[in-house]
Amino acid sequence: MGCPVVESNTSVDIHATRVLRRFGPDPANWVRSTAADHDVVVVGGGQAGLGIGFALRRAGIARVSVIDAAAPGETGVWTTTARMVTLRTPKQWPEPEFGISELGFQAWYESVHGEHAYESLQRIPRLTWARYIEWIGTHLGVPVRHHTRLTDIAPGPDGLTLTLTLRRPDGTETTIQETTRKLVLANGVEGTGGPYLPPELEKLPASLLAHTGHDIDFTRLTGKTAGVLGAAASAFDAAATALEAGATEVHLFTRRPDLIVQDAVGPSVNLGARNNYHRRGDEARWRQRVLAARAGRSVPLESVTRATAFAGFRIHLDAPWLAAKQVGNQVVVDAADGRHTFDFVIAGTGYQYDPHTRAELRGIAGEIALWGDRCRPDLADSALAQTPYLGKGFQLIEKQPGRAPWIGRIHVFSAAAHLSFGYPIGDTQSLAHHIPRLVDALGRDLYFEDQQSAPAPTPAAPPASLRHHYRHAIWSPQLAPSKTSAALP
């Protein structure tokens, strides 16, 4: 018999407060005070940024600032560019509860909807997950500075800090500079690059083209036709969303002879392989990622059936696009299977992670080691070669040793870490396992840096005697009983 449905969140809020109270107070800040404005700045206030901010505080690193360019309520992808109906990961996978099961999704959902409702849930609805993230963010108490965008990074004058240029779109586009000892880029799927558009689409205007990573007004497609390039999950989700918004026809094109469909069971995971992937050699990691890229991205079965439920949906197999051009208010596409005309086209063509293409990294991109600098195996892949090569603590590595040691003060906790760590960091499944690893690396670096720069310790004064507490119990020969008295019966 399940618990009754709770109509308000009052009980679950009380539950979270009780759990966190039992968790105990935050440890005192142990990081040595410096002239820097912050010890750590986290860019991104979504599920990863909130988790990192909380974990740093619980590790005794208190001078932390989390910033996000979005407005409150629009952080992350769950209410913006994510278009799946349910999450793709199984509901029981670890989430951002950091080992506190009573703050996990299951505890929250059962408190709101009841145990039976959770048992009946096959996958977590996307918007339900968004509400859970908002709830856990509220109770973790991690402040986020919204409407704050990082626009530039430079080494500080002392070599021990980074100077950040921040812009606040408050009507005057105020620009400010702040310093930090460590910087974490937790900016999700865009990582150190952004949406990838193939050359054949680059000349199309924004009025006729969007990437699945863009915010798309699908109501504009009501009564119109759309072409979608790509056959991974985001491409199918965009196609289905367009059809649900009233598009008359949507044609999806893939260069492969068939779809790579993931069955309803969902992805499996080898925790040993996943958690030790970063310890493998460079060539082994490179080879696995190149082969995975060549094999193609899979699409969940539910995303396929969602789109194919519409009579106006068509799949074009073995049909890469050769060219696309604007003709009037439409796009004419020359594909391997013929010519097609659409009112709008959507690119589900993934992301690239070249730091030269990212505004805030462009000024320092030449100092960042890329995988193409560190690994030159027989298998070539120009896109993967532009991905930053990361150290074991998610830190950037300098391209030329000794020229820019400060580059290691920047840590990448985003999808750009996929080549170094084996799968998209910042994704739901990565939080419980990899946030502790990141926080451990940050704490290690700050601690040993403090040790190196700390002044020589002065001899400590001897502690005050506390003998008055136990003087009466101290034995002495004068208090020993005499042999005579000891011999008496």
Give the Cα separation of 318 and 292 in Å (integer).
19
pLDDT of residue 265: 56
Among 138-147, 239-248, 297-306, which range has the highest average pLDDT?
Answer: 239-248
Three-class secondary structure of residue 65 per DSSP: strand
pLDDT at 172 over 70: no
Q: What are phi and psi of 194, to 5 degrees?
A: 170, -175
3: confidence class by pLDDT, cuts 50, 70, 90? very low
Write the pLDDT tens digit of every residue in 239-295. Answer: 999 999 999 999 999 999 999 898 755 555 677 777 788 888 888 888 888 888 888
Give the Cα separation of 374 and 241 in Å (integer).
41
Give the Cα separation of 234 and 231 in Å (integer).
8
pTM of the model: 0.87
7: confidence class by pLDDT, cuts 50, 70, 90? very low
CATH of domain 197-262+283-349: 3.50.50.60
pLDDT of residue 402: 94
Domain with CATH 3.50.50.60 in the chain: 10-192+352-451, 197-262+283-349
19: confidence class by pLDDT, cuts 50, 70, 90? confident
Residue among 380, 357, 374, 355 nearest 365 (CA): 355
**168 contacts: CB under 8 Å, gap ≥ 6:** 147, 148, 149, 174, 175, 176
Q: Check: CATH 3.50.50.60 for 10-192+352-451?
A: yes
pLDDT of residue 170: 67
Write the pLDDT tens digit of every residue in 427-473. Answer: 887 888 899 999 999 999 999 999 987 676 777 788 888 888 988 88
Residue among 406, 422, 418, 394 nearest 185 (CA): 394
**Partners of 268 in beta bridges:** none
pLDDT of residue 460: 78
pLDDT at 144 over 90: yes
Give the Cα separation of 3 and 119 in Å (integer).
12
pLDDT at 14 over 50: yes
User: What H or E segment, with its residue span, contains residue 180?
Assistant: strand 174-185
Strands 261-262 and 410-412, bridge-based pairing: unpaired
pLDDT at 95 over 50: yes
pLDDT at 209 over 70: yes
pLDDT of residue 264: 58
pLDDT of residue 21: 75
Residue 346 C-alpha from the chain's centroid: 24
Strands 194-195 and 209-211, bridge-based pairing: unpaired
- In the structure encoding, which two tokens stand for residue 239, read together? 């196609």
Three-class secondary structure of residue 148 per DSSP: coil
- Distances in Å between the Cα of 404 and the Cα atoms of 360, 368, 399, 432 are 17, 9, 8, 32
Give the Cα separation of 150 and 185 in Å (integer).
10
